[in-house]
Amino acid sequence: MYGKEIADGDRYRIPACSICEDEGIVSLKLEMPGVAKEGLEIKVEGNELSVLGRRGAERESGTYLLRERRGESYRKLFTLDESISRDKIDAAYANGILSLTLHVREAAKPRRIAIA
């Protein structure tokens, strides 16, 4: 599967990512500057969450005096745990940052048992 997607000749880089959990809500933040909303592809297949951010070719005509930015598209794979709900994944994109919100399944949340 990995080979299939790489085979189209594009090169990918891994976006910087932060993952945190707050009371059953897992939020992922991926830094993908230069990707337009249309270039984003977020998929869940089985236990795998894949994020693809295609960068448009923004090459300008002219002489490059400095070239530090890398033009590759972004790609990142996550393996989802059983405790994560598959059908409740929200995504938002602003200022070059993709925010994904995942929810922990009710059944997987810690339960407090009261003593009768």
Partner 1 sequence: MSIMKWENPAPKDLWDAFNGLRGDMDRALDLFRVPDAMGLLDRSTAPAIDLIETPEDYLVFADLPGVDRKDLELSVTGSILRIKGMKRAEEASEKRKFFRKETWAGSFERTLDLPALVDSDKVSAELVDGVLKVRVPKREEAKAKLITVSVN
Q: Catalog residues that contact partner 1 under the rule CB under 8 A.
A: 13-23, 29, 31-37, 58, 60-70, 95-97
Query: Minimum distance between the CB of residue 53 and partner 1, rounded to whole angstroms?
Result: 10
Residue closer to partner 1 (CB basis): 70 or 116: 70
* Least distance CB 16 / partner 1 (angstroms): 4
* Rounded Cα gap, residues 91 and 28, in angstroms: 9
Between 70 and 115, whose beta carbon lies closer to partner 1?
70
| Dihedral sign from CA coordinates of 19, 22, 26, 27 | negative
For partner 1, the closer of residues 48 and 96 by Cβ is 96
Residue 7 to residues 11, 42, 45, Cα–Cα distance (Å)? 9, 19, 19
Shortest Å distance, C-beta 9 to partner 1: 19
**Rounded distance, CA 32 to CA 62, Å?**
25
